[in-house]
Amino acid sequence: MLDLGLPDGSGIEIIDFIRDQGLSTDVIVISMFGDEKHILNAISAGAMGYLLKDEEHQKIETSITQMLNGGSPISPSIARHLLKYHQQQMEKNIASSVGKIKLTNREIDILKKISKGFTCKEISAMENISYHTVATHVRNIYKKLSVNSRAEALYEAYSMGLLS
């Protein structure tokens, strides 16, 4: 059990020390600091649990037992901060992925037609190009989106904002 606000230093430094020394000591933070910065720093340093000091004593005792049994106890408000942070990171990853993925105008047109349920044969007739050319575009779309099926391609394209 470790507090972050220690009179002679930071609990984060102790967690870092434990990790750097390769000790098999699991740390549960019990602190009054419930802000995102302290939480993320402690978890990133290696804390295996994080409780707020205003938790009931029974809850803290139960959490210590959970941790000894391999769990990672976290106060509900701490869990909310972690979930919010994770969701923000996912949104950033999606946003950066969109910038990296470059579909050609033709590929986007074909993807839109796929989203409407048209087959490669139907798309080739609509676009006045060969079936094999459409199939090549579809393979390129799959490769660029890192998918293996139409359903996955459409899901990824919608998730990334490539289709509206």
Q: Going from the first residue of the chain to its last (164 residues), give the mean pLDDT of each consecutive group of 10, the final group possibly shorter.
A: 89 92 91 90 91 88 89 89 83 63 89 93 94 94 90 87 78
Q: What pLDDT, on a 0 to 100 scale, did the predictor assign at position 133?
A: 95
The highest-level CATH class for domain 98-159 is mainly alpha
* CATH number given to 5-77: 3.40.50.2300
Q: What pLDDT, on a 0 to 100 scale, did the predictor assign at position 5?
A: 87
Which residue, among 19, 23, 74, 85, has the nearest Cα to 50 in the 3D structure? 74
Which residue, among 88, 108, 104, has the nearest Cα to 153 in the 3D structure? 108
What residue ranges do the domains of the chain occupy?
Answer: 5-77, 98-159
- Please state the pTM of the whole predicted model: 0.55
Q: What pLDDT, on a 0 to 100 scale, did the predictor assign at position 55?
A: 85
Q: What pLDDT, on a 0 to 100 scale, did the predictor assign at position 96?
A: 59
Which residue, among 149, 146, 148, 85, has the nearest Cα to 160 in the 3D structure? 146
Q: What pLDDT, on a 0 to 100 scale, did the predictor assign at position 97?
A: 58
Instruction: Indicate if the alpha-carbon torsion angle 106, 108, 111, 112 is positive or negative.
Output: negative
